[in-house]
Structure 1
Amino acid sequence: MSATTSPTTSPLPRIRISGRSFLALTLTPEAPLEDWLSALDHQIARSAGFFAGKPIILDLGMLDAEAEHLSGLLPALKERGIRVIGIEGGDRAWPALADWDWPENFAGGRASAEIAIPEDSAPEAPAPRTLILETPVRSGQQVVWPDGDVVILGSVASGAEVSAGGSIHVYGPLRGRAIAGIGGNSDARIFTRALEAELVAIDGFYATAEEMDPEQTSKPAQVALSGETLTFFPLT
């Protein structure tokens, strides 16, 4: 007679249960629903992403079975990315709710204070930046800097061109072309230790060498825009 052995019985794993709480938001629509949905769209536009991923309780307590457009309310919320996990304050027997995919309500839960929806802040414009050139701008070179001022520690040769979104500062002779205020900055100016330019321009208004004030040429000068006219001043 052979001996028999019984298989070893492994212990069953322990079921671990712990608690975790989430904040569910409650939406309480009001009649007329078309206006309420328009107000919701406006709020979503001002606070993009506020409802994303958040569980929502839909409270129908301020509506009744005859509310116009009630049947399309739940689909309209789903189209807007609002995830409804529970419905309260209404009755499944209302005819308008017959086609709703009614989620199971959660037991318990306490009401909290009304939550203020934060508005998205407008992105800050980047601060103007200054381009500093420590060497002269040679003939044939073209410098374009739309983000702010251009400061040139040397000269700008004849046949060179410097363009800036802000002002242009030339610490040597300006013999080429200087175009300031590109992009619509009429407050920009041009400064130079010796005005001998082929052309100067601010915000699209320009003057050629023949049109410049002869009393300011070959001297320290600044150029500004007054209305639609370039004006030339001594650099003092």
Structure 2
Amino acid sequence: MSKSPIDFKGSNFTLSVVHLHQSQPEIIRQAIQEKINQAPKFLQNAPIVLNISTLSGDINWLQIQQAVSATGLRIIGVSGCKDETLKKIIASAGLPVLCEGKVVFKTTDSTKSNLVNDHNQETNKARIINTLVRSGQQIYARNTDLIVINNVSAGAELVADGNVHIYGIMRGRVLAGASGDFKCQIFCTNLAAELVSIAGEYWTMDQIPGKFFSTAARLYLQDGVLAIQTLN
């Protein structure tokens, strides 16, 4: 029996979502370029999703697409679009219109408690890594926390939908709250990261306050902005 020439398989990728709050193409281009200049290794030629949920009124999609592409970012999809006409324009430009958010299931009272218990049992199980995380490796903890009890090499990447705990030297990239949970945090016993991110807000290595470098630290979001304090 011959094997099928293709297979469809699920997978997970780390993508940045760029939320547009302005429809003027040149303003968008300049703002994106400033971000890229701050973290060129992380953002140069990166695949991204554009979220346009806060935009309203007349939108020149072609000009916006050209402005973003001029920075080198690769648009692979658009989310947050509510206007049917605009959806057709985006689709005609060769881009998929994506849906974000959680699926809500309606349940009866008799099954609700069982579903809640099952959900808690599933999401409370953190993913634990005991071995060295080497350069080029990416570890993703879906819908849960990630705990690494070893060192993380430069060029490695830790990604979790929940919190991230590193009991070792953190030299790579660490992204907590990857699905957008701004309450997530990063805990590290020796912070020397190339990049830290929580729910899309990030610092590159040179943005981490110097006094916290190579120390035990806790990172979190405060009013939507990254904050850091000594981990006692």
TM-score between the two structures when normalised by the length of structure 2: 0.49
Report which of the two structures shows the higher radius of gyration computed on alpha carbons: 1
